[in-house]
Amino acid sequence: MGNKHDENSEKREIGVGLLGLGTVGSEVARVLVEDAEELAARVGAKLVLRGVAVRKLDAPRGVCEHLVDPALLTTDAAELVARDDVDVVVELIGGINPAKDLIRQALRAGKSVVSANKALFAAHSAKLFEAAQKAKVDLFFEAAVAGAIPVIRPLRQSLAGDRITTVAGIVNGTTNFILSAMDSKGDDYDKVLREAQELGYAEADPTADVGGHDAAAKTAIMASIAFHTRVTADDVHVEGITDIAAADVESAKQLGYTIKLLSMSERVTGGDGHERVSARVYPALVPRSHPLASVNGAYNAVVVEAVNAGRLMFYGQGAGGAPTASSVAGDLVAAARNLVLGRAVASESTYAKLPIAPISDVAARYFVRIRVDDRPGVLASVAAVFAKRDVSIATVLQKGLPRDGGHDASGGSDASAQSESAADGASGGAEIIIITHSALGGALSETVREVEGHPAVVEVESVLRLEFEND
């Protein structure tokens, strides 16, 4: 490294090859042009945009129309990556291919790489880090998770001397906008989704967001770093928000919760006493007193819990051109600065090699909403199924049921059920909402399957978890 330091300590320019000039790429190009002097002062060398790889040379450029010299545009991304005057490659194409091949080409050529590609890093980080370490160059991807919010660097560096126990948060703005609107307006999912699409918060095909896959990729990245264990998107248990009904949101409100699509990764101890990693994405009830409950609209937040640092929360805009460009520019400055100093810091830490815990072995409290026939004895017989599986019931809310002797299934008086019974009893159907104590996912799934076969049960309408609340 000594010779490299000598060579680069006199370097007055760092060449940047930008792959992609979309929403984020355009903002990165703008930052490079408009903030050139300040960036040069921070890096110790001038950052020079050598070229920009695009799909079409004649496409509208928006914010970059008068900032980027058309002569810098090229449709040959591989040629741009290979150029001798490009020192850092910024990949903002997205997706797996051709991004993966271009990044590997850059790393093998000894060029540092900055990327915002969550899907790629969630699936192929091992090979990319291997190539970066072999070439002794940097590989940064802060913008791959939560846009402008600094999460990756704190996990990798600031908390490197601590023991992280939990990383949880809201990391998808589309789903948070939808659930926040359902909570505040009482509208159903389909209506709010259409509104989100009209406002530009949701894509025409929102599957990656509402299905939880976008959040799962980000969860895999954060879990890998936090727990020094390679976690891929395939290791993450994923449930989306498409089945969340207005009735779920309203019931959650009555019980003092709001519903959020959560990214959850944590250390868990199995029945054998050995530690494992649980990584999961699903909609869950969050107590309104918890910090994440107040994260609304398209904003993101990540809560990290560590043994010594305690609870830390990172909050801000999780998407958008300018916010994401802020993270990309931060990585670019760090990579360029390291080139000037003749060092590289990027590496993958997977020494722990913890196994992944299946969702069936992870304990949680549950919210179960059940549609039943409104006849005497239904509540007691349904509660008996939970007891049979050792799933303990904490609270029951009855709507439209004849009274089962004036007490709920947990042994307490249920005044709310009594008042709602009179109002709903003539409807020809009834609803039971059960809140359980902590139960393993496998036991709860078996319970739900048996309840679905109960002769008085019309439908198990919803099964959601409760997070951030002790029994």
Q: How far apart are the first and last CA of the chain?
A: 55
In this structure, are residues 259 and 285 in contact, taking their beta carbons and an 8 Å threshold?
yes
List binding-site positions: 19-26, 118, 203
Q: Is residue 443 part of a domain?
A: yes
What pLDDT, on a 0 to 100 scale, did the predictor assign at position 272? 84
pTM of the model: 0.89
Instruction: Please provide the average confidence, as pLDDT, over all residues in the chain.
Output: 90
The reply to whether 296 and 368 lie within a common domain is: no
Per-residue pLDDT reduced to its tens digit, 313-357:
999 987 788 889 999 999 999 999 999 999 887 678 899 999 999
The reply to whether 212 and 139 lie within a common domain is: no
Q: Check whether 11 has a pLDDT greater than 80.
A: no
387 pLDDT band, cuts 50/70/90, is very high
Q: Using alpha carbons only, give the angle 296, 282, 177 rounded to the nearest 5 degrees.
A: 25
Q: Check whether 471 has a pLDDT greater than 60.
A: no
In this structure, are residues 374 and 425 in contact, taking their beta carbons and an 8 Å threshold?
yes
Residue 341: count other Cβ atoms within 10 Å of its Cβ. 15
Q: Check whether 420 has a pLDDT greater than 60.
A: no
The reply to whether 71 and 163 lie within a common domain is: no
Q: Is residue 223 part of a domain?
A: yes
What pLDDT, on a 0 to 100 scale, did the predictor assign at position 201? 87
List binding-site positions for NADP(+): 19-26
The reply to whether 126 and 158 lie within a common domain is: no
Per-residue pLDDT reduced to its tens digit, 247-283:
999 999 999 999 999 999 999 998 788 999 999 999 9
Q: Name residue, tokens 């590989």.
A: 139
Q: Which of 228, 317, 226 is nearest to 264 (CA)?
A: 226
What share of the chain has pLDDT > 70, as a percent?
Answer: 90
Q: How many domains does the chain have?
A: 3
What is the domain-level CATH number for residue 49?
Answer: 3.40.50.720
Q: Could you give the CA distance from residue 222 to residue 166 in angstroms, rounded to a whole number?
A: 10
Per-residue pLDDT reduced to its tens digit, 364-379:
999 999 999 988 889 9
In this structure, are residues 398 and 408 in contact, taking their beta carbons and an 8 Å threshold?
yes
What pLDDT, on a 0 to 100 scale, did the predictor assign at position 147? 83
Structure tokens at 387: 């007891």
The reply to whether 296 and 157 lie within a common domain is: yes
The reply to whether 143 and 171 lie within a common domain is: no
Sign of torsion over alpha carbons 432, 177, 306, 361? positive
Q: Is residue 335 part of a domain?
A: yes
What pLDDT, on a 0 to 100 scale, did the predictor assign at position 470? 65
Q: Where is 379: in which H helix or E strand?
A: helix 378-388
Q: Name residue, tokens 């908390």.
A: 159
Q: Lowest-pLDDT range, 102-106, 143-147, 297-301, 417-421?
A: 417-421
Q: Which of 355, 376, 388 is nearest to 279 (CA)?
A: 355
Single residue among 286, 319, 352 that ends a domain in this structure = 319
List binding-site positions for L-homoserine: 203
Q: Lowest-pLDDT range, 153-157, 395-399, 415-419, 428-432?
A: 415-419
The reply to whether 380 and 258 lie within a common domain is: no
In this structure, are residues 371 and 459 in contact, taking their beta carbons and an 8 Å threshold?
yes
The reply to whether 308 and 367 lie within a common domain is: no
At 219, is the secondary structure helix, strand, or coil?
A: helix
What share of the chain has pLDDT > 90, as a percent?
Answer: 80
List binding-site positions for NADPH: 118
Radius of gyration of the chain (CA): 26
Q: Could you give the CA distance from residue 440 to residue 444 in angstroms, rounded to a whole number?
A: 6
440 pLDDT band, cuts 50/70/90, is very high
Single-letter residue type at 313: M
The reply to whether 331 and 246 lie within a common domain is: no
Q: Where are the beta strands (DSSP E) in 5-45?
A: 13-19
The reply to whether 141 and 168 lie within a common domain is: no
Provide the residue range defining the domain that includes 121: 13-147+323-341
Catalytic positions, please? 218
What pLDDT, on a 0 to 100 scale, did the predictor assign at position 401? 62
The reply to whether 164 and 270 lie within a common domain is: yes
